[in-house]
Amino acid sequence: MNAGSAHGRFLSVRGRGYRLDQVDRYVAGLARDRDEAWERAARLTLLVKKLAAEADGLRQFAEALGRQTYAPLGPRAQEVLTLAENEAAAVRGMAREEAQTLCEAAEAGARRTRELAGEQAAEVREEADARARRALRSARTTAEELVEAARVEAAAERGEALAVMEASGRRAAGMLKELDRERVARRYETERELAARQAASAERYAELTADAQARLAEAVCAFAEAEETARHGQEDAEVLAARLIEDARVQAARIARETDRVLRDHVRRAEEIHAHLDHIRTGLAALTDRPPTRD
């Protein structure tokens, strides 16, 4: 049985080679045939040895008895004896030859069975190796395709993410610009309002100061007049001077209180404006994730 005929014992699977269960069953069958051939050869060997032993026993028994000539029986009996001996020798020879032939056939069958089993095992190993190589190449190709697909998908996702990030950045930049414009406008408006209030406060302070100075000048004049009048009437002058001085003191105290109130209002308003500016800075810092800075 050659390799080509051995292939005919299997059912082939297209693109995959032989089925492993078929190969296992066939190899197991070859092993059983080999074992049976060895058993038959062993039995025949034992039979040959047994027959040889019996023949040797008979020969020794015959030799112990001595050669029978059967001379008294006549030439015909001797001829029959010779024919019988020749037939027995021929039968023994044929038995030996048949036993030898059977042993050789059994050994040849066992060798052929071993050779076929080795050939089939080699073919199975080669087919398994080829199938493993094909599976490895297919797996490597599939893995490369998956890696390439994943790389393309990742690149596309990165592109989309970058586009989204750029759009978000542009929107954030626009919002920051708008917030900066609003912040600048509010700051400008606040500073303008603060400057106007400071100018009004300064103007009011100047007016109050001028009024106080005028009243003080009037008081001084009145005091001078009182001193002049005092020269004419000490008692009336002292009373008038005391009254004028008290009026001047009361007027000066009132002017000082008014001035302090205006200054306190100015300071309070300035603190409110600064607090408002700090609130605006904190809101901008929260929108831009930057720490607030004081101007």
Cα gap 242→235, rounded to integer Å:
11
The pLDDT tens digits of the residues spanning 189-234 come to 877 777 777 777 678 767 777 776 777 677 667 766 756 665 666 6
**Residue 138 is encoded by which pair of tokens?**
């297919």
User: Could you tell me if 255 and 215 are in contact, meaning their C-beta atoms sit under 8 angstroms apart?
Assistant: yes
- Tell me the C-alpha to C-alpha distance, in Å, between residue 227 and each of 214, 231, 235: 19, 6, 11
Q: What mean pLDDT comes out for the span 237-241?
A: 65
Q: Is the whole-model pTM more than 0.75?
A: no
Average pLDDT over residues 130-156: 78
Beta bridge partners of 12: 18
Q: 181, 182, 187: which is closest to 276 by C-alpha?
A: 187
pLDDT in tens, 70-93: 566 667 766 776 777 777 777 777
